[in-house]
Structure formats: structure tokens, C-alpha cells
Amino acid sequence: MDNPNKSAKPKPKPKAKSYLDDADLPPSDEDEEASVVVSKPASKERASLGLGLAEHVLTEKEKKKKEKREEMKARSAEAERQEMLKEDRDAFVVSSGSRAIAKADDDASNSNSSLDNVRDIVVENFSVFVAGNELFKNASLKISHGKRYGLVGPNGKGKSTLLKLLAWRKVPVPRNIDVLLVEQEIVGDDRSALQAVVSADEELMKLRAEAQSLSEADDKDSSDGDGDRLREIYEKLQLKGSDAAEALASKILAGLGFTKEMQDRPTKSFSGGWRMRISLARALFMQPTLLLLDEPTNHLDLRAVLWLEEYLCQWKKTLIVVSHDRDFLNAVCNEIIHLHDLKLPAYEGNFDDFESRYEQERRKDNKDYEKIDKRIKVAIKSGNKAQQDKVKGQALLKTAKSKKWRDYSVEFHFPEPTELTPPLLQLIEVGFSYPNRPDFKLQNVDVGIDMGTRVAIVGPNGAGKSTLLNLLAGDLQPTEGEMRRSQKLRIGRYSQHFVDLLTMEEDPVHYLLRLHPDQEGCSKKETVRAKLGKFGLPSNNHSTAIAKLSGGQKARVVFTSISMSKPHILLLDEPTNHLDMQSIDALAEALEEFTGGVVLVSHDSRLISRVCNDEEKSEIWVVEDGTVRSYPDSFQDYKEELMKEIMTQVDE
């Protein structure tokens, strides 16, 4: 790191890893003249070293042994997870009124034919406790068959827990309603992606296996009983649509971004994000009576999100989805359940309809509360005891129905950067390839970023969006062409990778004080606490070890650190994945006000629309087919173009 006082020795870098380690950041905002660093193509040896490529090449036998070990490790982890889930289930106590609700297994053993055709779920006045904490209090829930519900509320208040309680049947669900919760990626094995989806239907697999066994036996030793059973199985297979099963599974996988070649690959060859897509595809293929989705868009690119919107809009059964994507909820849902004040009130319509009604209720209740509060204060000042008792009695009745709503608020802010002479950052006829991935190559990349530039990078997952961000950041060196950047340029970066690099044993305050020791106004704990609070990290978490924070809380620490580094350019890779709606809106507002450059990779079309709202300063970079092209029109035009393609695919 440079130092304005050239005679002073530079401070040693901290040993602990952070997302700013090894970054070439200038120490001050003063005298930032435009100087440009030019990066030439890296040699193959240098590129290999930069990527940490091992010199030893595994033999086929070693590869198979390694794959076997990884498969066994994954299965062991899955077994441990299942055991932990069982312990989690036992930790929750669900009660209705004064009695505990019996376990679903016990209820199922009691035959009640009148419930066999029930398709709605109605649970009144139930409460949920875990480890002595109350998550729901006298809440009521009604789920009507065929409706698509959005479950919303602040992070950490119990949305995911409610989905689990329904899936576990800790909250009573009629026994004839099959429930499927998508929350974990599948364990990778030798099955192809297509086989993994079709095999989700265990009954179909059993019928097919039995039919094959009987057919083979029939060739050797025919019997009337076997023939009757075989005809019965074929009728059941026909009712289940066995002949079209592979075609349906393939259509779903294609919508989620799997090419024909990818559908035939073994599931163990996919990353966690792609295996999560396979889990989602399995659920869509199964078509359960009640489908529960927890943040289904987190691992999807924009095109897959839009496809999923259209597919779910045609869903004939019941759906409950937790999502932070406002546009997704608006497109898919026709009723919103709001987790608020330990209750679950429902609102007809999509998310925008809910938000409008919620705001009306909030204002009315707060106005009523303030009127009562004012009357009490006047009565107390008057000294008239009878009047005081009368007003207090009215207040007790009123506050039983309404009280002041203390809504959660958050404010993101990125300070105005010092001016730098353009160009800030350029890639000129750049090409890049990974030494260990011969199938991947970017070429003829010619892009640039200046102050005020707004860029949305779009394209299918795996096409190279994150690679392009790493090239812009200087983490990867081009193998062709050159990169030019201002020597005084400061870059703020966000991705899940940088969240994972936080120093887990430190608390947020000490982590930020160590990382930014020379920042003006940031040398005191109180100042850092105030910054963390603005980014939505509760004060009780400021002294908590980072390892114990949730994913969303860790993300807020990274955003606070980015703000304290006073960047000229922000490179953001899926910044919304761990943020709730209030935080996403706060991020969008902060990016709108930021005068530096912004480069954004996101599946959240609303965030992209807000960031790229100035057509003169905004660009859409499409990464596909091994290159980066600038889309000539607006993001809305690009989205509409995708939608036309998707509508054709969904209707096929």
C-alpha cells in the first residue's frame, strides 16, 4: 500500500485474510492524479501460478478414488444433516391454545375418512416455541387450495421455520395433502441430471421396475396372475404419464438453464448451485399438493428466474414461496402472508397490493395510538383521577387492538469518491482462458468503466460473468489483450467469496477497526457501530464473533467495510442473495446516489432497473458464446426479449 509520507515505512498487512488483502489501495484522497497501469497478457506459466493450479496431474485411477471419497463424504454429511433435522424438529413446540399439538404421525394413525378429501389447511390460534423463545403467538393460518402465497417479513423472524413446520407437519396438515419443501441441494452421484429428476417420483420408479421384472419373468414362465398384475401396472403407469416423464423432466431442466449435454452429465459433476437447481426441478416435476419454496431464485440467472415466474404462474396446486425478489412475488403470487408481530395476517393480491394496504394499516394504527397517548398525557396533567382512570381504561381497550408499529429500517450509504481522470478502467481486446478448463474461453472483450457508469452484466450461469468481474478487479490477468486502470483507483467488491473471507473469530467492530485503521472519523468504536447500524446490523451483534452471524449479517459487515474503503468503482456479484427487501431497497437507493461507477451481476430485475435507469450512463453487457457484447437497447427491452423466448418455451 502506498503512503503519502514517502519517508515512513509502510505498515505490515494483517495476517488474517480479508477481501481487501493484497488490494492496491491508495492511502489518501488527496492529490489523486490520473496515472494508468497497463497489464499485458500473462504467460501460461504465470496464469497457472495465479490460479493456483497444481503441477501434479491426477491419473484416472486417482480421479476415481477421489470422486468416491467425495461421494462418501457427501453422503455422510447428508446423514448428519438428516440427524440434525430430527433434533431440530424435536426442539420446536407447537401449541394451540393451552394444549400441545400432537405429532403428525400420531394423527395419521387415527383414521378419519371425512378428512380424506380436505384440500385446505386451517390452523387457528397456534403458538410456536423454540429454546424458550416465542416465534408465533396465537397466530392463525389459512392456506386455500390452488392459491399461490408469498410469505414475507424481516429476516430472522421465522419465515423459513414456518415452511419447515409445515413440511414436518408440526403444524397440522391434512394427511391427504402431500407437502414438499425445497431447501437443500441434492447429493451428487453417478445419476444424470435427467435421471435424478425422474427418479424423484419413487412410485413411478417402483412401477417401472416391477413391470420390467414381470415382463422378463413372463418370457420364461407365464402365469395368469402375472399377466393381470402387469396389465394393472401398465394402467397405473399410463395414469402417471410415464411415457412423457422424461420429456417433462427435460423441459423443466431446460427452463432452469440445463442444456441437453448438461442433462446427461452425472449430478456429482455439478457445483452446489446447479445441484440446487436439480432439487428445484425435482420438486416441479413431482407437482406436490403443497409446494414450499425458500428463496428459489438465489441460485438462478435472470433468464431462469423469468422462466420460473412463468412456470409457477401456471401452477394449478398450492404454493408458498419465501422470496426477497419483489418482481418475482408480484408476478407469481395472488396472496401475501405477512409475518408481523408474531402473527400471520393475509392480504389478497400481489406484493405491491399488500404493501399499499400494509402502509394504510400502519398509518391508521399509529394515528390511533398517538391520539390515545395524547389523551393520557392531558389527563395526567389535569390531575383529575376519575378522568385519568377513564382514559386509561379506553387506552387498554384500544391498545389491545393496535399499538405503535416500530418498522425495521436500514440505510446503505457509499461516500462520494474523489474525482479521477478517465479512463478509470479498460479492457482492450482482452481474451482469457483457464489452463484447467479447455472448454471455457472469453475473447475480444472490449469494455470500459468511468465515474458514473452503470453496467448490468447478464447472461447464463457459467458463461463467464464472474470471470469478467475478476478480470476487471485484477484478480485474473488477461491471456490476450491488455487491461488499463488508474493507479489511484479504489475498487469495492462484493460477492459470496468475500463474505467467506471475513475473519470469523473477530467481532464486526474490531474487524473493521483493524481493516481500516487510518480512515478519517472511523477510529472510534462508536463511529464503527453507527456505520454497522445504518447497514442494518443490530447493536447486539456488534460484539458477536463473525462466525456466529447469519449470512445476511455477514453481508452487512462486508458492505460496511466497502463503504469505509471509499471506492471509486463498485463490482457487485449477486449482492441481494442474503438481504431482505428493506435492505435491497436501501442498497438500490445508495447505488442510485453513488457518483462512482457500478458494475452489477444480479438476477433481481428490479434492482437492475433501478441501478440502470439513466439510459445515457447505463450499459447492458451480455456475456455468452465466449464473448461480451453491449446490448443496444434498455434493460427493459432485454427483459422483454427474454420473455418472448421463455413464453414460447413454456407453451411448448
DSSP string, 403-440: ------------PPPPP-PSPSEEEEEEEE--TT-TT-
Same-domain check for residues 453 and 515: yes
Same-domain check for residues 395 and 476: no
Mean pLDDT of 348-354: 96
C-alpha cell at 298: 438465489
Range with the largest mean pLDDT of 182-196, 231-245, 638-652: 182-196
| pLDDT value for 519 | 63
Same-domain check for residues 391 and 489: no
Same-domain check for residues 389 and 496: no
CA dihedral 246, 247, 251, 253 (to 10 degrees): 20
439: in domain: yes
| Predicted confidence (pLDDT) at residue 189 exceeds the cutoff of 60 | yes
533: in domain: yes
| pLDDT value for 203 | 86
| pLDDT value for 115 | 56
Among the ranges given (397-406, 548-557, 638-647), the one the predictor scored with the smallest mean pLDDT: 397-406
Host H or E run for residue 203 = helix 202-220
485: in domain: yes
Identify the domain containing residue 522 by its residue range: 36-54+411-651
424: in domain: yes
Among the ranges given (100-114, 248-262, 500-514, 529-543), the one the predictor scored with the smallest mean pLDDT: 100-114
Confidence of residue 401 (pLDDT cuts 50, 70, 90): very low
Same-domain check for residues 421 and 446: yes
Same-domain check for residues 465 and 570: yes
Same-domain check for residues 588 and 612: yes
Higher pLDDT, 223 or 448: 448
323: in domain: no
378: in domain: yes
246: in domain: no
306: in domain: no
Output b/e per residue, 371-393; b: 16+ Cβ within 10 A.
Answer: ebeebeeebeeeeeeeebeebee
Confidence of residue 98 (pLDDT cuts 50, 70, 90): very low
Mean pLDDT of 315-327: 95
Our count of domains for the chain comes to 2
Distance of CA 125 to the CA centre of its chain: 31
Same-domain check for residues 518 and 584: yes
Same-domain check for residues 363 and 480: no
Same-domain check for residues 426 and 378: no
Residues 6+ apart with CB under 8 A from 444: 429, 430, 431, 627
625 CB neighbour count, 10 Å cutoff: 11
The overall average pLDDT reported for the chain is: 82
Range with the largest mean pLDDT of 110-119, 294-303, 343-352, 389-398: 343-352
Distance CA 264, CA 267 (A): 9
Mean pLDDT of 178-198: 91
Distance CA 361, CA 357 (A): 6
| pLDDT value for 304 | 94
Strands (E), 17-86: 36-39
Same-domain check for residues 463 and 364: no
Same-domain check for residues 380 and 415: no
CA dihedral 69, 72, 77, 78 (to 10 degrees): 150
| Predicted confidence (pLDDT) at residue 60 exceeds the cutoff of 80 | no
- CATH of residue 603's domain is 3.40.50.300
Higher pLDDT, 271 or 571: 571
**What does each C-alpha distance from 48 to 51, 59, 195, 476 come to in angstroms?**
5, 19, 36, 11
